[in-house]
Each structure stands twice: as C-alpha cells, then as structure tokens.
Structure 1
Amino acid sequence: MKALIALEDGRLFEGRAFAGSGETEGEIVFNTSMTGYQEILTDPSYKGQIVTLTYPLVGNYGVTPEDDESEGVHVQAFVVREYEDAYSNWRARASLRDYLEAHGVLGVEQVDTRAITRHIRRAGAMRAVVSTVDLDPGSLVAKARRSPGLEGRDLVREVTCRRPYEWHGGRAVEPGGAGREEGLTVAVLDCGLKRNQLRLLEARGCRPRVFPAGTPPEDLLAAEPDGIFVSNGPGDPAALTGVVRTVRALLGRRPVFGICLGHQILGQALGGRTYKLKFGHRGGNQPVKNLRTGRVEITSQNHGFAVDADSLPAEVEVTHVNLNDQTVEGIRHPSLAAFSVQYHPENAPGPHDAEYLFDDFVALMREVPKG
C-alpha cells in the first residue's frame, strides 16, 4: 500500500506501508541507533513524533516482550529504509510488523531515509503527516502546517502513570505490595519514564515508588523517600510549570536526580530556561564530555529541547557538555544535592558508559540526611 509523507515546508517522500494503514501527524525526527528499535518505539519521550531510523535494515531480530520500555508504543509512525519480516532471534516472540499493527501504529518502508535525515539536518525538525488514505500532496502539506507540533505542548499528562505503584522484582506491584522494606526509597516522578531506569535503581538496592507527574510535593514527601528521581518524557519542558514548581519545592529537602526531561525540569526549577534545538539529539553514539573528570562518554540520547547555559544562576555548575554542539548535557547544584543529565545513562538501547550516575545518586542519598 502506497504511503506519502508530507512535511510542512512542502517536501514530500514516498514509501509503502509495511504495517497498518491510515493517517497520522507529528514532528518528524531521525534516530541514528543501529539497534534497539523496540526500545525506541516504547520510549514515552517519542510521544507526538514520527521517527525515522538512519540504519537501513530494520526488523531482522523481531520483538521481545522483555525489551519493552513501557506499556505501549508511543511513536506516531515509524519510517525505515527497508523492513525485514523474516526475523531471526531466539528471544523473539513476534515480527515488528505484527507488533506495530497490534498497537495501531503505522510503519512505512522503501523511503529515502537518508534524504529525510539530510533535509532535517539542514532545515530542522518540522511538522509532518504520514498517510495511506490521502495521497494528495497539497492536502497533506496543508494538514502538516495545521498540526500542533511540540512547542508549548504538555504531553507528559498523556504518558504518566494514572496512580502510584512500586517496582519490585522487575515488575510493577501495588503500593505496599513489594514485600520488603529494606534499602533506599526513591520517589520517582513519572514524566514518561523508561523501565530500565527502575531496573537500575532496584539493582542498586533501591525501592522505587512511582508517582504520577502531577503529584504534589507534600504527597511525595509523605512516602518518606531518601531521594527524588525525575524521569524522561515528551513534549516542551517550558509547558510543565506545575512539575517545575513541584521539583522546586523539593530542592534542599531530598537529593534530586533528573534524566532528559527531568534534567530540563530541574534546570527550570533552579532558575534556568529551555529552548528548542534545530533537530535534536537522538541516537546511541552522542559524545559527551564530563567536565569534572575530563572523560568523554558515548551516550544514548533522545531530546529536542535543551537547557540554556547562560540562563542558569552562578551557583549551578555545568558538569557535562555535548562535544558536537557544546549544548548543556549535565548540571549540578552542590548545596541543594541536586544533579541531572540530558542524556540517558540507563541506555536501553545504547552504551553503558554513564551508568555510574545511578551509583552517584545512591551515594548522595546515603550522604544527605532526610530534611
């Protein structure tokens, strides 16, 4: 079935649907990872986005339930150069086609993904529409221009959990049902978190207690946590004024660790501002320099916004920078026991260079008494 991709600037790309049919809109972006398509699909940070993979062959290892990073698929559509339906993987339980169709997500192949990537790198990420039902170029371009985009949108409310839960033994359980009280309790503010963040906290002896993003600070403190973890998530960080107020109210009362959107939220809570990047950082090969150690880390990233270094108060230390464009990749406030990184140290998919940050968070919780 023929599919047409129309960008708001009038650029068109043709392909054919390998999964599903219909029409969807979103911001079109590209990801440079060579593997990990299932983790990308189930990353809530991709809500509202049409994801194009630069790696040319996709689907050859199928999908595995254990590799899901959340409950569902969050991308608006999935665009690849070539789809392989005959997967080979002893862990796989289904094909990528069946997986996308089960979640009602449109998959498109035989697209010049290199041309899309080059165009976005020059012109910037932009609104787009993908359709198998309306193949009129003028109609689709008009729809793309009318679509809302990401700026100013609070998408966290669409992906956060609806009620609190605990993470124990690699799965979600009812509050109080974890069957253990030992270890550090971490209040996790779910802005669209990935499961591997919970897995890595639990592997370090922590007891993650997950709360919806709209939870008031007093309710988080009522859980008597040793620390606050602010997760990744989708949309414009500047639209999350309520979550920013919550994190600001918690500063100095518990150690705080933020990842990706959580980093942008912490930056705003400390007095900084965020801005939209031209085409964002998405992939598993982003070089980041740790300014405190001088070491370079290869990181997994997925973000279209960044913290403005010049807007941060003098007492906030920039700890990491992106070596491609010098954007802020990490901050720290020493007296408030708060730190964050823009990239994804939990990998899934991606390199493991930055897992030490979870160890740093545990050490900080052990050092700082509950205030």
Structure 2
Amino acid sequence: MKKNNRSKKAMLILEDGTKYEAYHFGAPVSSSGEVVFNTAMTGYTESMTDPSYKGQILTYTYPVIGNYGIPSPSYKESIHEFYESDKVQVSGLIISYYSNRPYHWNMYTTLSDWLKENEIPGLYGIDTRFIAKKLINKGGSMLGKILIMEQENIPFYDPNKENLSKKVSTSKKIIYGNGKYKILLVDFGLKNNILRCLLRRNCTIIRVPWDYDFTKEEYDGLVLSNGPGNPNIYEKPISYIRLAMKKERPIFGICLGNQLLGIAAGGYTYKLKYAHRGHNQPVVFIETGQNFITSQNHGYVLDTTNISREWKIFFKNLNDNTCEGIIHDFKPFFSVQFHPEASSGPTDTEFLFDFFINLIGSSRRLQK
C-alpha cells in the first residue's frame, strides 16, 4: 500500500508503555491481548485461524502480507478446506506492509475485508522486525493493545490467566469418517489439518470437548490436540489422561497435548525465555540423529526432570536444547511439541501420524 500524507490513525501500545503509531486496516475496533511474533513468509490464513493463537495479537516479521488474499470458504467432509478453524482466532494483526492489490486463483476476498468480517483490527506501517527484537528480549511476548485513536482506551488483557479452550474447543461430540481405526480426539483448540491427516489414514474420528470424560470411551488410539494458553490450567483433562494411560492404548500428543501428557507423566512446564514461533524451528530426532524443520507456536515448554526413567526425550530443539517431545520406553505413548500436521509450514514430520497408526496396529495384534 502506498504511503500518503494522511496522518496515522491507530496505535499499538505495549505493557511497558512503548507506543507505535500506525495505519489501520481491517475492522475499526480496538483490541488487546498477548503480542507475539511469527517469522513465516506464507500461511497467514492458516495461522490466523489456528485456535492456538486465541487471545494473541500476531505480528509478522515478513515485510509483505496480504499479497495472495484469502481463499474461498469451502468445506470438504464438513471440514473447512483452507482454514484451520471456522473463523479468525487472533485478537489483532500487526504487519509492516499491507498488499492491497492481492491476486491468487483461489482468492475469495482481501485480507482487510476478511478482518472486517471477523471484527478483527489490523495495523500496518510499523517496523515489525524491531518489535520482534523487543519481544525476544521479553521472553517472546508482551501484553499489548491496538487502539483506534477515535475510540476510548481499553485495558490490557492476559490470555494466560484464562482457560482459552473453553472458547475454542467443540462444545459437543462430533464424528468424522468411517475408517478402520477408531480415534478419540480431545479438542483443546485443534487445527483442522489434524483431522485431515487422520482421515487420510483410514480413521474414524470421535472429536470431543476439552473437558470431556473420555475414560469410559472405547477407542483404538487417543490424540491430544494443540491448543492455546497455559497448560497448568487444564487440571481436569490431565487427570483423565492419567487414567487413560492405565489402558495402555496408543496416545499421541501434539503441542499443548505434548505438555499435558508430560504433566500427566510427572513433569511440569515453564515459560520459555525465547518462545518458538514460525516455520523454521529445527529439531533433532534423538533416536536417529536426523534433523527436521518444523512449524511451531508455543511459549511454554515441558521440563522432564521429574518424569520417570521409562520416558525418554523423543525430539529436542536444536536452537536451545529444550524438549520437543517425549516417548515411553515400552508403552505406546508419545508426543511432540511442534506441529507434524503443519498447515502452514513444512510437512517433514507428517510421518508421525503413520507412526501412530502403526502403534495402533501393533497394539491390536497384542490384544488378540
């Protein structure tokens, strides 16, 4: 979008009092939340509809956003084809340069109009890489608010003090597919591509709410989805996971699901000094030494110090050596902190869904 002589009509204010004047696009409303940054070059549609970003103001360091617009709102097998949930989940968007003349063969609308439809504000004309550097020195995030200057001031909001799964999880049991493997999927704020990855692998999926008592359900495998917020808030599902572990049916945790499985196994979580967000997070598969580039979005990480010796580190982050997954020595339980379903981001670790299905097959044979 070309610069013009009109004055900037909006502002980003961080909790330390720093103010950034900006131009406004999207919905003309003020908003507050946790300001985080993402280094990805593409995939803004998928990230903005990812429930893991609930309560967060997303800042993109890539300089041009909006150039391919927003894809059509079409569904396949009752799952949105191009979005990771049914609506925009972020509380606001901060970018450097807004491309207001987008083009793509599957474009349905512009980014600005899409934000207006979802009542989400956006700001542009800010040095987002400078903001990212500031956030890095504050642990990867800070509280902030977007103010439209004609509107009244609003308070800061900390999403980490709230159970966000209540806002983004399904409210009822939903069944997808009619495949060979019966998967119970606990929805803490799942991305749609987890559903797509499982359906491609001949699964019947039973999707249940975050606080659903699944301990009496029959299933071949249990998946604990990604989701937003502080993992220590989820006491009820952690107790259900502990009971599920006694069944010894295969368990696969993703992102928040990794943290909850780890807490259920005796570990604890803490907030990272430098959060992991973007499409370029390198991890190492401990067993083989093979490296992978992964998509990540998390500020908390699992500490395995107090977990029993029956558990091993599955993957490790190559930047800071933090835990990126755990696996049990002889029971079919494992989890990863990154997103093997990608969408957006690299698909290098999608093989973990095959690993999970193979565990189910082995478990079935042992039960005969």
Common topology (TM > 0.5): yes
Structure 1 position 60 matched with structure 2 position 67: yes
The residue that corresponds to 1:172 in the other structure is none
- Aligned residue type for 1:127: L
CA-based RMSD of the aligned residues comes to: 1.6
The 2-side partners of 1:150 and 1:39 are apart by 21
Cα offset, 1:134, TM superposition? 6.1
1:13 matched to 2:23? The reply is: no
Equivalent position to 2:278, from 279, 283, 290:
283
User: As a proportion of its length, which structure holds more helix?
Assistant: 1
Is 1:190 aligned to 2:199, yes or no? no
1:231 counterpart = 2:225: yes
Contact 2:11–2:149 under 8 Å retained in 1: no
Deviates further, 198-207 or 124-133? 124-133
Question: Is 2:142 the counterpart of 1:126?
Answer: yes
Three-state SS of the structure 1 residue aligned to 2:330 is: helix
Which residue in 1 is equivalent to 2:112? 97
Report if the CA contact (8 A) 2:92-2:146 is conserved: yes
Distance 2:160 2:210 in 1: 19
* Deviation, structure 1 residue 334: 2.8
**Residues 27 and 117 of structure 2 are in contact (CA less than 8 Å); yes or no, is this contact kept in structure 1?**
no
| Change over 3 Å in CA distance of 1:228–1:248 after alignment to 2 | same
What's the offset of the Cα at 1:218? 3.1
CA distance in 2, matches of 1:279, 1:166: 38
Deviation at 1:135, TM superposition (A): 7.7
Q: For residues 153 and 336 of structure 1, what CA distance do their matches in structure 2 show? A: 33
Q: Who is 1:160 aligned against?
A: 169
What amino acid sits opposite 2:94 in the alignment? V
TM-score (norm 2): 0.91
Q: Which amino acid aligns with 1:131?
A: L
Deviations 1:142-175 (A, max 9, x none): x33xx3x24342111111001111223xxxxxxx
Secondary structure in structure 2 of the residue aligned to 1:118: helix
- Aligned-residue offset at 1:216: 0.4
In the TM superposition, structure 1's runs of 4+ consecutive aligned residues that sit over 6 Å from their partners are none
Aligned length in residues: 349
Partner of 1:205: 202
**Secondary structure of the corresponding residue to residue 116 of structure 2:** helix
Q: Quick check: 2:163–2:234 contact (8 Å CA) kept in 1?
A: yes
SS in 2 for 1:90: coil
* TM-score normalised according to structure 1 size: 0.91
Distance in 1 of aligned mates of 2:19 and 2:83: 32
SS in 2 for 1:130: strand
CA deviation after TM superposition for structure 1 residue 42, in Å: 0.3
5+ residue gaps, structure 2: 1-7, 74-80
Q: Which residue of 1 aligns with 2:48?
A: 41
Partners of 1:23 and 1:312 in 2: CA distance = 44
Identical columns (%):
40
Q: Is residue 265–residue 307 contact of structure 2 (8 Å, CA) maintained in 1?
A: yes
Residue 134 and residue 316 in structure 1: after superposition, are their counterparts in 2 closer, same or farther (change >3 A)? farther
- 2:324 matched to 1:329? yes
Q: 159-168 or 43-52: which moved more?
A: 159-168
Whole-Å separation in 1 of the counterparts to 2:119 and 2:161? 26
Query: What pairs up with 1:251-330 in 2 under 5 angstroms?
Result: 251-253=245-247, 254-330=249-325
Q: 5+ residue gaps in structure 1?
A: 169-179
